[in-house]
A and B are shown apart, each in its own frame.
Chain A
């Protein structure tokens, strides 16, 4: 009983305090006041006299004195541009303010004298703060109940750099930055087509983060676009700090180690996916674009596959899928063979492994787990560590854990080899997100192998497959086009058929009205060499 009352009391108390706080702020009216000083007071109060809110008041004219203020957030704007094209003209050209006071000439003012990008009137405070905080410059004029918001965004930003995680030898070398405008422009530069549509919204009650949906009208499925829009609109959260927030709030299945949304930092990957009918989501402040719907096989498609010739691309894809399998069941298979199925390896090999295991005090499972965990710690330490001491880690890792452990007879060399191969195989997956899930599932496989040998591994594998096929990403089955099997799209899965043979966009992902992506007979048909020669000699 007591806690109930307590709770109630507390609730009442907080309500009260909220009320008082609200009443403090409550004198922020909805509409902008004609008086400049009142307006400036409101701004100062609302922003808590923050030092980065710069207010410059200009007094000019003869009689009467005209007053106007330019308000902006320091660091979000291009100060140079504001000085040159806003403050300078206002100070030097006396007629300008005069013009501002005459309400009917306002349009003329913005059109003729302000050389900044977009200028539009603002009348209520909510909008004013929104534009101010997102980097616009506000012009307030004494006596007018209209404010002007001029776009002069600027400030320090990271420049476009080479991609750091999705590296490729061939292909464009630029990656997204933290600025959403730059990112969208980078994609726009690749797809110069009016059908590339962008919808913007602000998500995050406190952060007011810019989020944009990008898709190609006519190629993207309208249902998917609607679904994306619906799920984004549903989000009601105080902050969106990174695209990962959005991803976690809109994904289909939450209890899964597998990502159902694709992330990329490369504009060319984004463009390629948009052209297959996917929808991209950009979040301001995040150098990763989200792409949906994502397919499992998509995480094995490196961008270079499409730039290099198909035979080589197919071979590398095979390697990647193989590497994924190894990274999943490598240590598990080792455990199963050495503790359950010693009959399954050739005698000579068994003798070698047995000789190594003879002096090791632990069971194979414990040994493998120790090494795996040691490796995971090493990797985690490597990521979070200042770059300067990076080399220490590798020395400690290689010498102490590798050499030392073997020489002390705590682990056998065979285990170290298996763990090392698994680790390397794990790095061969092009997508970091899927590589992480493989890391996680590997431990489950190891446990099942330790308990039931291959029976456990195979049952685990069946569970994994069942789980994978039961996943969906924005309504599309995750394992498409393998299951459900779509023969026409099989050309871009584990194999990659030549570009001229992939006539259709992926079914189920792109719009069904417009499935063809290239003309007939795209296979190069060069003339026979003799014909070429003739032409040349003439």
Chain B
């Protein structure tokens, strides 16, 4: 664990950027059709719960990383195994998200460029950042959050005044009852993006005012949940349910639909900025967490030295995890959501909390 502190506001910004990073761009929760926005809101509530579980654990062990307190909770060897599994999970997710963004760039703007080069370049920038430590990541977040915020606001204003929003597309609400909505919530939105906030268990110990952590996390999740809801609702109301579900990148189609006075049109650069800035933080944080985890578990003095070798591992992993985009996406939505997300984001943290709770009770009883 490096000697660094981040402020509550920085944590807020990092959570928001992380949550929005890829969720803004991919077709999210569209199994629920026009009720996708509702699913996101429900997922957000679930996200609050998961975050509070992690926060509670942090509360029991405020100064150490999860990879360390796991060993304290379930015993040294089993805890180490668990921590190692988490590190693998973080690494896998880093590679996944790198692949996601690489694929997005290749399909949306650089069809002739090899995925390898796009990914390598992105990872190079991320390694450069990670080596400078969490403080620099957080401060970068503050600056770029501001830019993304401006982009979001101006983009929304443009969409509204170009008159392409048709709220009728959001009706009827709950066409087939609440079941599809709940099903999508528990198979998708709970994990992507809200459950992914489990990485912040590894960031929380850096917080300079640990008391503010709870509120900040909930606010950040709430903010990103609302922003996502808004974006998904706008996508559907501009494109219609049908087109939104068929789009690889609904946000890109929405932005391309903006036409104002024959001049403010073709604003694809909006999409690209959002894509790259969001991806930068999502990958960056996963990567950082994976590296700190390894450094902590195997007692490395300088985590930043791990950045280059790990970067190469992740680069290769990102290329090899799937042979095409469809396979990659179906892995993401079907294969990994229950077998991987459920244990790592829900089951393990909750059971850890239960054990920790009883341990602390016992201690206090003594």
Contact = CB atoms under 8 A, between A and B. Distances in A.
Q: Do A and B bind each other?
A: yes
Given A463-B125, A463-B128, A466-B128, A455 B280 contact: no
Given A455-B109, A469-B136, A462 B273 contact: no
Interface string A33-73: 00000000000000000000000000000000000000000
Majority DSSP secondary structure for residues of B touching A: helix
Interface size of B as a range: 20 to 34
Interface size of A as a range: 20 to 34
A492 to B, nearest CB: 17
B125 A459 contact: yes
A31 B262 CA distance: 88
Given A454-B272, A455-B272, A458-B277, A482 B266 contact: no
Interface stretch (B26-34, B139-147, B331-339): B139-147
A344 interface: yes
Interface string B290-321: 00000000000000000000000000000000
A289 to B, nearest CB: 29
B262 A346 contact: yes
Interface string B132-175: 10001001111110100000000000000000000000000000
B263 interface: yes
A194 to B, nearest CB: 37
Interface in A371-396: none
A441 to B, nearest CB: 15
Interface in A449-467: 452-456, 458-459, 462-463, 465-466
Given A346-B265, A459-B125, A463-B125, A469 B143 contact: yes
Interface string B261-283: 01101111100110011001000
A454 B269 contact: yes
Contacts of B132: 466, 470
A455 B269 contact: no
Interface in A331-347: 340-341, 343-346
Contacts of A483: 139-143
B201 to A, nearest CB: 23
A323 interface: no
Contact of B140 (A346, A454, A456, A462): A462
A341 B273 CA distance: 14
Nearest to B280: A462
Given A341-B269, A344-B268, A463-B128, A455 B110 contact: yes
B365 to A, nearest CB: 43
A442 to B, nearest CB: 19
B155 to A, nearest CB: 15
A484 B7 contact: yes
A447 interface: no
B128 to A, nearest CB: 6
A341 B109 CA distance: 8
Contact of B139 (A458, A463, A484): A484
Nearest to A468: B143
A479 interface: yes
A485 interface: yes
Interface in B5-23: 7, 9-10
B276 to A, nearest CB: 5
Contacts of B272: 454-455, 458
Interface in A462-509: 462-463, 465-466, 468-470, 477, 479, 482-485
A452 B117 CA distance: 10
Nearest to B137: A466
A459 B122 contact: yes
B268 A458 contact: no
A483 to B, nearest CB: 4
A346 B195 CA distance: 41
Majority DSSP secondary structure for residues of A touching B: helix
Contacts of B273: 458
A455 B143 contact: no
Contacts of B121: 452, 455-456, 459
A471 to B, nearest CB: 10
B105 interface: yes
Interface string B37-79: 0000000000000000000000000000000000000000000
B144 to A, nearest CB: 6
Nearest to B276: A458
A100 B256 CA distance: 95
Nearest to A482: B143
Nearest to B141: A483
Contacts of B9: 485
A458 B267 CA distance: 15
B210 interface: no
Given A344-B269, A454-B269, A462 B276 contact: yes
B266 A455 contact: no
Most buried by B among A348, A456, A465: A465
Contact of A469 (B139, B262, B268): B139
B129 interface: yes
A462 B140 CA distance: 8
Contacts of A455: 105, 109-110, 118, 121, 272, 276
Contacts of B265: 346
Interface in B199-233: none
A454 B273 CA distance: 9
B163 to A, nearest CB: 19
A453 B109 contact: yes
Nearest to A477: B139
B280 A482 contact: no
B7 to A, nearest CB: 6
A504 to B, nearest CB: 18
Contacts of B139: 469-470, 477, 479, 483-484
A466 B142 CA distance: 11
B24 to A, nearest CB: 16
Contacts of A468: 143
Contacts of B263: 346
Interface string A343-362: 11110100000000000000
Interface of B: 7, 9-10, 105, 109-110, 113, 118, 121-122, 125, 128-129, 132, 136, 139-144, 146, 262-263, 265-269, 272-273, 276-277, 280
Considering the complex of A and B, which 7 residue pairs feature the smallest CB-CB distances, nearest first?
A469-B139, A483-B139, A483-B142, A458-B276, A470-B136, A483-B143, A466-B129
23 contacts: A340-B109, A341-B268, A343-B266, A344-B268, A346-B266, A453-B110, A455-B105, A455-B276, A456-B121, A458-B272, A458-B276, A462-B140, A462-B276, A465-B143, A468-B143, A469-B143, A470-B136, A477-B139, A483-B139, A483-B140, A483-B141, A483-B143, A485-B142
